Chain A
Amino acid sequence: MVGYVVNRLLAAIPTLLGVAIITFLLMRAVPGDVVTSLVGLEANVSPERMAELRRLFGLDLPLHVQFGQWLGAVLQGDFGSSLRTGREVAQDLALRFPVTLQLTLMGLLTALLIAVPLGVLAAIRRGGFVDYFASLFAILGLSVPGFFLALLLILLFALALGWLPPAGFVPLAENPLENLRHMLLPALSLGLILAGAVTRILRSSMLEVLSRDYIRTARAKGLAERVVIFRHALRNALIPVITVIGIQFGSLLGGAVIIEQVFSLPGVGRFALEGINLRDYPVVQGTVLFVATAAVLVNLLVDLLYSLIDPRIRYE
Chain B
Amino acid sequence: MTTASPNSHLALVIRALLRNRSAVIGGLITLVVLLGALLAPILAPWDPLKFDPPNRLSGPSPEHWLGTDQYGRDLLSRVLYGARFSLSVAAVSVLAGLLVGGTLGLLAGYFRGWFDLTISRLADILIAYPAILLAIAFLAFLGGGFINLVLAISVVFVGPFIRVARAAVLTVREELYVEAGRAMGASDGRMIFRTILPNAAAPLIVEVTLRFAYAVLAEAALSFLGLGIQPPFPALGSMVSEGRAFLSLSPWGSLVPGCAIVLMVLGFNLLGDGLRDALDPRLRQR
Contacts and interface: CB of A to CB of B under 8 A. Distances in A.
A288 B130 contact: yes
Interface string A4-37: 0000000000111011001100110110000000
A254 interface: yes
Given A257-B132, A288-B133, A143 B262 contact: yes
B280 to A, nearest CB: 13
Contacts of A139: 22, 266, 269-270, 273
A291 B133 contact: yes
B128 interface: yes
A155 interface: yes
> Chain B interface secondary structure, helix, strand, loop or mixed?
helix
B128 A145 contact: no
A58 B136 CA distance: 25
Nearest to A154: B247
Contact of B125 (A18, A159, A258, A279): A18
Interface stretch (A45-53, A183-191, A236-244, A269-277): A269-277
A29 B140 CA distance: 12
Contacts of B244: 151
A277 B133 CA distance: 12
B133 A272 contact: yes
A19 B129 CA distance: 6
A99 interface: no
B129 A147 contact: no
Given A159-B247, A272-B133, A276-B137, A144 B262 contact: yes
Contact of A15 (B128, B140, B220, B224): B128
Contacts of A148: 220, 240, 254, 258, 261-262
Nearest to A23: B137
A16 B254 CA distance: 39
A147 B227 CA distance: 15
- Interface footprint category on B: 35 or more
A140 B124 CA distance: 29
A116 interface: no
Nearest to B243: A151
Nearest to B261: A145
A253 interface: yes
B155 to A, nearest CB: 10
A15 B124 contact: yes
B141 interface: yes
Given A26-B141, A250-B130, A254-B130, A143 B136 contact: no
Find the residue from A139, A146, A151 having the highest chain B CB count within 10 A: A151
B121 A14 contact: yes
A276 B240 contact: no
Contact of B224 (A144, A147, A152, A159): A147
B130 A26 contact: no
Contact of B140 (A254, A258, A276, A295): A276
B14 interface: no
A284 interface: yes
Contacts, number: 120
Interface residues of A, number: 45
A287 B131 CA distance: 13
A147 B224 CA distance: 8
B251 interface: yes
Interface in B215-264: 217, 220-221, 224-225, 237, 240-241, 244, 247-248, 251, 254, 258, 261-262
B265 interface: yes
Contacts of B134: 22
Nearest to B266: A143
B142 interface: yes
B23 interface: no
Contacts of A276: 133, 136-137, 140-141
A145 B129 CA distance: 21
Contacts of B136: 257, 272-273, 276
B107 interface: no
B254 A151 contact: yes
Contacts of B124: 15, 18
A277 B140 contact: yes
Interface in A196-236: none
10 contacts: A139-B273, A143-B213, A145-B224, A154-B247, A251-B132, A258-B225, A273-B136, A276-B140, A288-B130, A296-B128
Interface of B: 22, 121-122, 124-125, 128-134, 136-138, 140-142, 213, 217, 220-221, 224-225, 237, 240-241, 244, 247-248, 251, 254, 258, 261-262, 265-266, 269-270, 273
Interface of A: 14-16, 18-19, 22-23, 26-27, 29-30, 139-140, 142-148, 151-152, 154-155, 159, 250-251, 253-255, 257-258, 261, 272-273, 276-277, 279, 284, 287-288, 291-292, 295-296
